[in-house]
Amino acid sequence: MATPYALILRGPGTNCDREVEYAFTAAGAVAERVHIQTLRENPARLRDFQILVCPGGFSYGDDVGSGKIMASQLEHFLSDAIREFRDDEKLILGICNGFQTLLKAGLLVPPDEDGPLATLTHNDSGRYVDRWVHLKVTSNKSPFLKDVQRMFVPMAHGEGNFVARKEWILKGLGQAGQVVLRYTDPNGNTGAGYPHTPNGSQDDIAGICDATGRVLGLMPHPERHILPTQHPRWTREGLKQEGDGMQLFRNAVEYFG
Helix pair 17-27, 246-254: axis angle to 10 deg: 60
**Where does the pLDDT of residue 257 fall: very low under 50, low under 70, confident under 90, or very high at 90 and above?**
confident
Instruction: Answer whether 219's CB lies under 8 Å from 98's CB.
Output: no
How high is the pLDDT of residue 2?
Answer: 83
Catalytic pick among 122, 159, 223, 231 = 223
DSSP sequence for the chain: ----EEEEEE-TTB--HHHHHHHHHHHT-EEEEEEHHHHHH-GGGGGG-SEEEE--B-GGGGBTBTTHHHHHHHHHHSHHHHHHHHHTT-EEEEETHHHHHHHHTTSSS--BTTB-SEEEE--TTSS-EEEEEEEEE--S--GGGTT--EEEEEEEES--EEEESSHHHHHHHHHTT-EEEEEE-TTS-S---TTTSTT--GGGEEEEE-TTS-EEEESS-GGGS-SGGGSTTHHHH---SS-TTHHHHHHHHHTT-
pLDDT greater than 80 at residue 1: no
**Where does the pLDDT of residue 79 fall: very low under 50, low under 70, confident under 90, or very high at 90 and above?**
very high
pLDDT greater than 90 at residue 40: yes
Rounded CA-CA distance 21/23 in Å is 5
pLDDT greater than 90 at residue 38: yes
Mean pLDDT of the chain: 97
Question: Domain locations in the chain?
Answer: 5-254
| 209 assigned to active site | no
Q: Amino acid identity of 247?
A: Q
| 19 assigned to active site | no
pLDDT tens for 20-31 read: 999 999 999 999
Query: How large is the average pLDDT for residues 111-139?
Result: 97
Query: How large is the average pLDDT for residues 198-213?
Result: 98
How high is the pLDDT of residue 225?
Answer: 98
Query: How large is the average pLDDT for residues 60-78?
Result: 96
Per-residue burial over 86-119, b if 16 or more Cβ lie within 10 Å, else e, is beeebbbbbbbbbbbbbbbbbbbbeeeeeebbbb
Distance of CA 237 to the CA centre of its chain: 28
Distance of CA 13 to the CA centre of its chain: 17
Query: How large is the average pLDDT for residues 55-62?
Result: 96
How high is the pLDDT of residue 74?
Answer: 97
pLDDT tens for 127-172 read: 999 999 999 999 999 999 999 999 999 999 999 999 999 999 999 9
Query: How large is the average pLDDT for residues 112-126?
Result: 96
| 96 assigned to active site | yes
Using a pLDDT cut of 70, give the percent of the chain over it: 100
Rounded CA-CA distance 110/205 in Å is 18
The closest alpha carbon to 212, from 118, 108, 137, 117, belongs to: 108
pTM above 0.95, yes or no: yes
Catalytic pick among 96, 196, 209, 225 = 96
Considering the domain 5-254, what is its CATH architecture?
Answer: 3-Layer(aba) Sandwich (3.40)
pLDDT greater than 80 at residue 194: yes
Catalytic pick among 122, 196, 221, 231 = 221
Distance of CA 55 to the CA centre of its chain: 8
How high is the pLDDT of residue 230?
Answer: 98
